Amino acid sequence: MNEKILIIDDDVDLCKLLKKNLETEGYQVTVCHDGENGILEADKNSYHLIVLDIMLPKKSGFDVLYDIRKTNLVPILMLTAKDSEADKVSGLRMGADDYLTKPFSNNEFSARVASLLRRYTVFSSNNEHFEPAIDIGNLHIDISKHEVSMNGITIDLTAKEFDLLHFFAQNQGKVFTKKQIYRGVWDDEYAFDDNNIMVHIRRLRKKIEPDPENPTYILTVWGVGYKFVGDSV
């Protein structure tokens, strides 16, 4: 295991604990304690995952997230304060892939890290993994290259947005509940957290739909969930 993880959090004791536990699991871990240094480190070196706290000195976690997302689609796990629903939604809308609410157990943290890393490392490694591209209407999804384009124009998706689109594209026409989507995309048990799914679907619609307010690819099935329509034009 050679995955590199960057932790940006000003809680020194928590960082020591997370770093120790992650290194025990075989990850390479770098820690920054403020937003400015976090941005510099993320720009300077390549990471497989960034763990980012919202409350940071010098630059907030939101500022760091915004800056990283300008050029980097690395998976980002946000750490939020207890009962801060607005922070969770804001982080997801800005491009975070998942979040954890403090305080959390080490087992829960490790599970989220493993879930985010599980699929992404295969796309950045030179191995035999190959899946054919999927063409749906004007949408082209290159699974092996982890790339998406519309009418030949590249669409930048975060890792979790790509996973969500891949899941839908593989299951065209099928209706899924939020619970089924969460299990299929987040590879975890549903935590009765609709915001995470709804925000990611909203973000994905903005990127692939000609008119996000009147979607033609990702349709809402009222009272049930969502389905992906493969014959959209």
3-state secondary structure the chain: CCCEEEEECCCHHHHHHHHHHHHHCCCEEEEECCHHHHHHHHHHCCCCEEEEECCCCCCCHHHHHHHHHCCCCCCEEEEECCCCHHHHHHHHHHCCCEEEECCCCHHHHHHHHHHHHHHHHHHCCCCCCCCCCEEECCEEEECCCCEEEECCEEECCCHHHHHHHHHHHHCCCCEEEHHHHHHHHHCCCCCCCHHHHHHHHHHHHHHHCCCCCCCCCEEEECCCEEEECCCCC
Please tell me whether residues 14 and 104 are part of one structural domain: yes
| Residue 29 pLDDT greater than 80, yes or no | yes
| Residue 68 pLDDT greater than 80, yes or no | yes
Mean pLDDT of the chain: 85
Residue finishing a domain among 78, 98, 123:
123
Please tell me whether residues 106 and 153 are part of one structural domain: no
| Residue 128 pLDDT greater than 60, yes or no | no
Considering 17-21, 95-99, 129-133, 180-184, the range whose residues carry the highest mean pLDDT is: 17-21
Number of domains in the chain: 2
| Residue 127 pLDDT greater than 70, yes or no | no
Please tell me whether residues 179 and 109 are part of one structural domain: no
pLDDT score at 190? 58
pTM of the model: 0.67
pLDDT score at 232? 45
- List the domain range (segments joined by +) for residue 70: 4-123
Q: Is the residue at 128 inside a domain?
A: no
Please tell me whether residues 176 and 112 are part of one structural domain: no
| Residue 51 pLDDT greater than 80, yes or no | yes
| Residue 215 pLDDT greater than 70, yes or no | yes
Q: Is the residue at 48 inside a domain?
A: yes
| Residue 34 pLDDT greater than 50, yes or no | yes
Q: Is the residue at 190 inside a domain?
A: yes
pLDDT score at 194? 66
Please state the rounded mean pLDDT for residues 200-208: 92
Q: Which residue has the higher pLDDT, 126 or 160?
A: 160
Q: Is the residue at 49 inside a domain?
A: yes
